Amino acid sequence: MGKGGVGVRVVTPPNAQDAAQPEDTSSPSGQEAELPLPYAVSTSGRKEPLPGVQSIFLTGTTIEIIGLQALAGDGRGMLYVPKEKLLKDVQFRGAISDFHPIRDKIQGADCDPVLIKSNPEDLYGDGNNFEIACSRAAADTWEFIEAETVRRQQAAQLAAASPKAAAKAVPKVHRDWLPRPWTSMGSEIEVDEASVRPGRQPIVMTAHRRRKDFHRAFTLTDKDASELWNSSQMECRPFKDPKFDLNRMEQDAAVQAVAELQSRATQATGRRPLPGSSQSVPIDMAEEERTRILHSAQMAGFLGRVQNITESALQQNEVTNIFEDDFAALAEDDGLSGNRKENVISEYQSFTDLLYSKNKVVSAIQWLPHRKGVVAVACTEPLSFSERMEVGGSPAACAILIWNFKDPIHPEYVLEAPVEVFAFQCNPLQPDIVTAGAYNGQVLMWDTSAEEERLAHAKSAPKEEGGEGGEGSVPVVKHTHLSLVDASHHAAVTDLHWLPGITISRDGKAIKVLEDKAKECNFFATTAADGKVLFWDMRVGHNRRKVKKEREDDEVEWKPTYVVTLLSAEGGDLAACKCSFSLKDALKSQFFVGSFDGELVYSDYLKPEAEGGEQGDQSSVVAAHSGAVVMLARSPFFDDILLSVGDWTFGIWKETAHSCPLFLSPFAAAMYTAGCWSPTRPGVVFVGRADGVLEVWDLLDRSHEASMTAAPTSTAITSLAFSPAGAPATAGTRAVQQLLAIGDSLGVLHIMDLPRNLRRRVPNEIKTVSNFLKRELARLDYVAACQPTRARVLKEIQETQKAAEAEKAEDKAEEGVLPGPLPTGEEFDEASEAAYKKMEHDFKVQLGLIKENIPPS
């Protein structure tokens, strides 16, 4: 091994020639065979790295961090370095790490640790000074070359001194595999899956007896069940469950519904058992025979008997209201059975603050994911655009309130903002980081870790009378970063989403999706009415650049690293209102955007051929609603199913067929202002209205109306947010609980406790909802397939009508009659009635019911 090389293993190079000669490395002529090259040679004679080898340039800082000082400069040798050490360097230093460009190659290496070899001669002419073997075959080749070179040098030195001792002193390289670190190939996962583990903690039961009762005689007796039923010894009393329903599994089986045709006898009468049979034979008669039967007395008598019944049925069909809502008959008049608490949405708690939230609008709500029973609320002034223009520039108390269930009067602390906040979210992997979008288009960021530590310390420390933090004092947290005005949105930020697993280059021209989204979450996206979707990096100091020297503070410029521009159906900037990204699959770059004009845009933020940093492929624009889209959310159970809420309706869309909704609700009594999916039931949707009514739509129960309604407030509902799924209840409440946070236009936060039938999933609900969505998709496909045929038939009918009108006009022109004005509505009805009476009179005359000289009534 050359100087600086450590950790060498003597192995056989993976090629066929060496496998054929495991013990001899000499040529047939007695000379040593040529060693394999440590690099590959292309057809043009240029040196290239071996397959699996990456050429890289390492700076002095990286060499010192990894510990490659012995290989730096003119040093030659190799060194084994664990993959984890290199990946930690990438994770800690990010894109400035020298290993960041080949991070995926290092992760996919089939050997651990990887072998790093110095390249002082710059064999490949790319200016790099090191090589990394990310494959076992390349590392073995390098090791074999190094070991064989050392052996031959030692053998040459001994041969010069003593040829006989050379053969004994320097043995040839043995090609036996030395022990290597164990590499996981997935076997431990199979063993873990095959293992049987208990699904719950074992129940511990302790039975004890007093010592004086030991070895005492006892007698077992029989007792009548009727006596035991009402006695105190009956521990498990039976009860009748009003909500019990026997659920059966569905089975797809085919049966023969019609028996085979056979010639058999049947009983003809039910009076006396007499032998008899019945048989029907079609009658094929001539025209004269049919005329004779139609004019016979028997036919006239039959028609006379059924005349009144037939006329009554025809008149009933004529007066039927074709615009009647048939679904209204399906409404249930009787109330719900069972306990009332199990079917009623009750208010659990409410929060309001006289300074920050009273008489304001709750614009955004989010439950803190790392703290139970804590919810954050952003409140804004209920002002119109003209009113905001009048008071523009004046300071206002704007903050995000952090409410804890333990204190419903005072907020735990507030996040102060210089401008009103309409959207905010916590980082899913670092909940202490909070980002928000302001009314003037800027983006803010807070770091609440210090405040969280203070609260934890105050909770553990003993209470002191007369100390700080008394009643009425609310801690205020200032924002740590604020984006530049000229680089932000030009309109109010209306939505914000974190994007786990997304990495954007420092120059903003390349965006990459990580396979493991649970490791990094540094970027988030914002949208506004200026038609842009901006992607931000929360690591503001990651590409740190000082501003002008005349500024006293050490401020940095925070700008978006990636921009996507969206267009409306008319070609102008899209007035974006809400956006929705796929949070389950980080590899999916398609997203939806809803606008203030009710448009639903389907776009893709990955488009390599885009230039200038503004990328994205806008594939379609659909008119989803007639008003602003107030909510866009993907289903927590089906990632390709989207919920959109706007104007007086809400729709359910499928990503692969987003030209038409799978389901569109009927028009509501008031405008919809908020909506969300149920986190535990895939077929339940919650929608808030402007009159303060909360509608619960259970698509498995009924689709023409809401299954349940509640009125938590008398003013408009502005936002909805569910507590994290599976969160245990706080002290003093039930063990299983699901809470819904509702914000209204008066600044009050209502916490609603949902009943059991809205939080417990029915058996096979996911499969049933999936079948419902598949049926709706098949219906859309059928309608789309029939559209060309219907258009063709309609065109033929219109052409036939035009031809008939033209022919009629020609006939009148030949007769010298000029076409008159079109008949009015009353004249048209009278003409139709007269035509119907004449047709009815001719039919009765043909059947012989009346005589020809009787005029039509």
pLDDT, residue 613, reads: 45
Q: In this predicted model, what pLDDT tens digit does every residue of 668-724 receive, in sequence order? A: 999 999 999 999 899 999 999 999 999 999 988 888 889 999 999 989 999 999 988
Q: 685 with 704: CB under 8 angstroms?
A: no
Low-confidence ranges of the chain (pLDDT < 70): 1-33, 72-76, 162-180, 224-238, 251-274, 276, 278-283, 322, 325-342, 392-397, 459-472, 506-510, 515-518, 541-555, 586, 607-618, 725-736, 815-829, 853-857
Per-residue model confidence (pLDDT) at position 12: 37
- Two tokens at 207? 């039975």
CA distances for 397 relative to 356, 360, 412, 446, 717, angstroms = 7, 11, 17, 17, 22
Q: List CB contacts of 625: < 8 A, sequence separation 6 or more.
A: 598, 644, 646, 647, 649, 651
Domain ranges of the chain: 16-169, 339-440+442-457+472-489+670-762, 535-664, 821-857
Tens of pLDDT, residue by residue over 494-515, are: 999 998 888 887 666 667 777 6
Contact status, residue 689 vs residue 324, Cβ threshold 8 Å:
no
Q: Residue 424: how many CA atoms within 13 Å on its side-chain side?
A: 37
CA distance 268 to 274: 8
What does the angle CA 431 – CA 463 – CA 416 come to, to the nearest 5 degrees? 35
Question: Which three-class secondary structure state does DSSP give residue 601?
Answer: strand
Which tokens is 825 given? 């509505």
Distance CA 678, CA 635 (A): 9
Helix (H), strand (E) at residue 777: helix 765-815
Cα gap 80→83, rounded to integer Å: 9
CB distance 39 to 47 below 8 Å:
yes
**Token couple for 762:** 């029915």
Please report, to the nearest 10 degrees, the dihedral formed by the alpha carbons of residues 629, 630, 636, 642 taken in order.
Answer: -10
DSSP-derived pairing of the beta strands 114-118 and 130-133? antiparallel
Question: Any residues with CB less than 8 A from the CB of 1 and at least 6 apart, and which?
Answer: 8, 77, 78, 146, 147, 150
Q: What is the DSSP letter of 490?
A: S
Task: Report DSSP letters for 547-563, one per residue.
Answer: --TT-SS--B----SEE
- What was the pLDDT predicted at 557? 80
Q: Distance between CA atoms of 652 and 665, rounded to whole angstroms?
A: 9
- 8 A C-beta contact, residue 171 and residue 158: no
Question: Which of the 8 DSSP states describes residue 818?
Answer: P
DSSP per-residue codes, 685-708: EEEEETTSPEEEEETTT-SSS-SE
3-state class (DSSP) for residue 795:
helix
Cα angle, residue 59 at apex, residues 56 and 61 outer, rounded to 5°: 135
Name residue, tokens 């502005």. 718
Beta strands in 123-238, from DSSP E residues, in sequence order: 130-133
